[in-house]
Structure 1
Amino acid sequence: MEQAIKECCPTFHPEKWDEKTFNWSQKKFIKASVPTLFHIPLPPMIGKKVTQMMKLAEDSKKLSDDKEEILLLFNDPSAFKSELYLSVTDTVTEAENITLSGTFISKVFDGAFSAVPKFMKQMDTYLAQQHKKANDYYVHYAYCPKCAKKAGHNFMVLFAKLE
């Protein structure tokens, strides 16, 4: 059994997320964005933005009590912008509130941030075997960099929004 991470991130259980289908109807998130340079965000900017988002959600008591259910999704609509989506239980004042709806298929990968394009191609192959196709991708990183180092894994969940 994997030892619990003694940092800020809950222990990740890949089997909960690997090759699963989620049908989200108006799933609530708060949204923020950070600039990127060819899809590479500046780490201090991400940390600052995530901290701000978590504080808004925690202060309004709209963060799930079950830390394993909290999703922080990343989506890159362009090479120069990354959008962050933090799952919440209800509307958070002073935040940009949005919802996501649709069918999402998830798959777990373990590797460096730079491998995301390769993982997306593997996900496309996996979806094609099921006669499905993604029209967008969201990535959830299971651990922050400190916790990933301690765990010895850099798990990420790719969520493919189906067409």
Structure 2
Amino acid sequence: MTNHGSETQCCSKFDPDPWHEKEITWQDKLFIKGTMMQFMHMPLPGAFAKTVGRMWKGLEDVKAAPDIKDFIMLATESSPWKGEVYINATKEVPDAENVKLSGTYITRVFDGPYNAVPKWIKEMAEYVALKGKIVKKYYFYYTTCPKCARTYGHNYVVAFAEV
């Protein structure tokens, strides 16, 4: 499950097929975690880019950044005022919050604007319920930045439902 190729020198072109309607199990998958301020579920202007930039620099400084083909960045929130970002790492990063995620996740790929997330959450809840499972927590993998999404003509987002 990787991204392949980059026409933009920024975000790789995303292949949704390996991620759509899959069940993934992770055991101690290593990520670094960052937080950002948000207002009513929306990151404050520049907060997302600043948080990700700081995290990415920390990964690169200690050579813990994943190959672009293995890159995963998950976003979730702990409240309407605080967002969380997780970027996978190849080793622990000093001075960062290192987090290991374990569990089973059901995924589904969506294509559309970020403000469709509430609709996608509803669709995911219905999809997971059809599988006889209950969602514990949602994460979202925003596969490209807005500029690259416009270039590629798709804004793919992978919803992860921890079950």
- Which range, TM-score by smaller chain? over 0.9
Where 1:53 maps in the other structure, the secondary structure is helix
For 1:58 and 1:74, the matched residues in 2 are separated by 20
Aligned 8 A contact 1:7 1:147 in 2: no
List alignment gaps of at least 5 residues for structure 1: none
Tell me which amino acid in the other structure corresponds to 1:155: Y
What are the within-5 Å matches in structure 2 for residues 21-100 of structure 1?
A: 21-65=23-67, 67-100=68-101
The residue identity in structure 1 corresponding to 2:43 is P
TM-score in terms of structure 1 length: 0.94
The residue aligned with 1:10 is 12
Task: Give the secondary-structure state (helix, strand or coil) at the position aligned to 2:136.
Answer: strand
Cα displacement string for residues 8-57 of structure 1 (whole angstroms, at most 9, x for unaligned residues): 11110000111111111111000110011110002411111111111111
TM-score, with length taken from structure 2: 0.94
- 1:19 matched residue in structure 2: 21
Does the 8 A contact of 1:19 with 1:107 survive in 2?
yes
Give the structure 2 partner of residue 146 of structure 1: 147
* Percent identity (aligned): 41
Paired with 2:69 and 2:119, the residues of 1 have a C-alpha distance of: 26
Distance of aligned partners of 1:49 and 1:3 in 2 relative to their CA distance in 1, 3 Å threshold: closer
1:133 and 1:35 map into 2 onto residues whose CA distance is: 28
Separation in structure 2 between the aligned mates of residue 158 and residue 48 of structure 1, nearest angstrom:
23
